[in-house]
Amino acid sequence: MTDDSPRALGRLLETCRRLMADDGCPWDREQTLETITPYLQEELHETLDAIAALDAPSMAEEMGDLFYLLVFAAALAQKQGLPLDLATILDGASEKLIRRHPHVFGQVAVTGTAGAVAQWEEIKKSESNSTTTLGKRPAGLAALTTAYRIQEKAAAVRFEWVDIRGALAKLREEIDELEATLDDTTPGADHRRQDEVGDVLYSVVNLARYVRVDPELALRGTITKFMNRFRFIEDELARIGKTPSTSDLIEMDALWNEAKRRGIR
């Protein structure tokens, strides 16, 4: 954050108010919280894609779009008669951060990241009067991210492997169990395979947590890398008058390795 951030936020607020004014933009004036929900989802995913690619110009653009839509949503909530405004939202966020970081803003001592996370979860649980460590399953959250957060919460009460070797052994065990279902043709086999695939994915997420890698961002990065390398294959095939459908695996695999050699990501 720079010293100029408050001015920039104020300018965004004024821009939003101008667009929503009676003589502003017809599209903005017609929106409701319900109609802008798809745009919020879209901009969030575009922001995550930009982060995964470490593309600073795209990050600036997409984060700006997301900031605007959040400010816009707050203004729409007020317009629709809901009792909140941006100041209440931002102050609430600050108060929550201060309340859940007593080791920073108070006199409480914690040991390392694990201690800070455990303290956060304990305070959060007490605030919601929840009796369960895991809390509610976040509706609409990506499955990989949900798994990661659930595992974090379980780890906060020491329900986890002693070290990464345990997580790695569990992943190998789940892969073996999946492999054992591959030739199964008995009734219910498809469901058992689905169950084992889910166990493998859950174990991969747990392994990612041990090495402090966000699985959602990691997978987004891999998808981008795959798409870029496949486009290279298509471009190289086009040079010789071919397409993937007229090529074969051996030729395309060789081009894939060439894309890797060139550092295409």
Does the pLDDT of residue 130 top 80, yes or no? no
Closest C-alpha to 144, from 241, 80, 215: 215
pTM: 0.62
Handedness of CA 39, 40, 45, 49 (dihedral sign): positive
- Site of tokens 């795959």: 226
Query: pLDDT tens digit string along 49-72?
Result: 898 888 999 999 999 999 999 999
How far is it, in rounded angstroms, from Cα 8 to Cα 31?
Answer: 24
The three-class DSSP label of residue 44 is helix
Does the pLDDT of residue 115 top 80, yes or no? yes
Q: Which residues contact 111 (CB under 8 A, 6 or more apart)?
A: none
How far is it, in rounded angstroms, from Cα 249 to Cα 206?
Answer: 33
Radius of gyration of the chain (CA): 24
Contacts of residues 251-256 at CB distance under 8 Å and 24 or more positions apart, as own/partner, are 256/229, 256/230
Instruction: Supply the pLDDT for residue 131.
Output: 67
How far is it, in rounded angstroms, from Cα 1 to Cα 94?
Answer: 15
Contacts of residues 108-114 at CB distance under 8 Å and 24 or more positions apart, as own/partner, are 114/155, 114/156
Q: Please, which pLDDT band fits residue 105 given cuts at 50, 70 and 90?
A: very high
Residues in the chain: 265
Task: Classify residue 107 by its DSSP letter.
Answer: S
How far is it, in rounded angstroms, from Cα 239 to Cα 232?
Answer: 11
Query: pLDDT tens digit string along 155-208?
Result: 888 899 999 999 999 999 999 999 999 999 999 999 999 999 999 999 999 999
Closest C-alpha to 45, from 209, 229, 202, 217: 217
Token pair belonging to 242: 């071919």
Average pLDDT of the segment spanning 96-110: 94
Q: Which residues contact 80 (CB under 8 A, 6 or more apart)?
A: 32, 33
- Site of tokens 């649980």: 125
Average pLDDT of the segment spanning 37-42: 90
Helix (H) or strand (E) holding 135: none
- Site of tokens 């890797």: 260
